[in-house]
Amino acid sequence: MKHVVGFSGGVASSVVAKIVAEEHPKETVLLFCDTLTEPPDNYRFRAEVAAYIGLPIVRVADGRDIWELFRDEKFLGNQSRTPCSEHLKAIVGDKWMKDNGPAIYYVGYTPDEWRRAQRLSARKAQAGVETRFPLMDLGISKEECFDRVRNCWGLKLPDMYEWAEHANCVPCVKAGMAYWGMVYLMAPEGWRRAVKAEKEHGHQILKKAYGTLEEELPRCLRLAEEWMRKKKAGEDQGSLYEYPCECAL
């Protein structure tokens, strides 16, 4: 029996990987589904965590980035529908587990993410895969994951955590307006590519917005500034995702 960790490269999946590897050192697999749309520092962090744990990364990929996928699907992902999660994560990861099973699948959802866990468990059960959530079982929060990685393991966190709550694709079409303001400031190439995609596909990424990303830029920047102000002040700034992030295998 393989014990497969959805190794996204964020702090939560990293802590899960360490927990599972300690319990099942010879059967643990760090499975990374590469969307080819992440910033370079995410790959640096993922490699350092794998080296710290002492296991290799098993990388699988569809071969397309999100923009190529949207073009092939003739649909631009948005806050309510994300073909990128389906094709570049779920389908690729499910195929690997089917070809290499049987396996138990482990995900780094924290106790406050129980709704995400329920949805993922139901989908995996349909495929006959048992899903486990060690952080939820042990009551380990996202903040404790940050502390373990940074202070106990001595690893530098992904640069994305300076301005986002997840270390994932840039940009992520699921996120809200404050996030897009941060992308404009911190990852301008991702912003430019998203603006180009809206023009290519002829519709918007922001479901609730009144206009395109270019038209809504002033509001995105205002919301981003407020989000960062609250973050620096230690206040509850809320999520950058108006709709729950569902990017998992």
Which bin fits 63, alpha (ψ -120 to 50), beta or left (φ > 0)? left
Name the residue among 21, 249, 57 with its Cα closest to residue 153: 21
Rounded percentage of the chain residues whose pLDDT exceeds 90: 82
Question: Which pLDDT does position 80 carry in this prediction?
Answer: 84
CA nearest to 63, candidates 30, 29, 91, 82: 91
Residue 248 has pLDDT above 70, yes or no: no
d(CA 8, CA 160): 13
**Is the model more confident about 210 or about 173?**
173
pLDDT of 209 over the 80 cut: no
Portions of the chain given CATH number 3.40.50.620? 2-154
CA trace torsion 133, 136, 140, 141 (10° rounding):
100
Beta partners for residue 31, in sequence order: 6, 58
Global pTM exceeds 0.75: yes
The angle formed by the CA atoms of residues 82, 83 and 85, to the nearest 5 degrees, is 70
- Which residues, in sequence order, are CB contacts of 26 under 8 Å at separation 6+? none
- Angle at CA 239, nearest 5°, toward 182 and 231? 65
With respect to CATH, is domain 2-154 assigned 3.40.50.620?
yes
Instruction: Convert the pLDDT of each residue in 213-241 to its tens digit.
Output: 999 999 999 999 999 999 889 898 888 88
Report residue 107 as tokens: 């995900």
What average pLDDT does this structure show over 241-248?
Answer: 70
**What are 33-91's pLDDT values in tens digits?**
999 999 999 999 999 999 999 999 999 999 999 999 999 999 999 988 899 999 999 99
Q: Which among 90, 11, 89, 92 is positioned nearest to 46, based on CA atoms? A: 11
Contact 47, 39 (CB under 8 A): no
> What is the amino acid identity at position 235?
E
At a CB cut-off of 8 Å and minimum separation 6, what does 25 contact? Answer: none
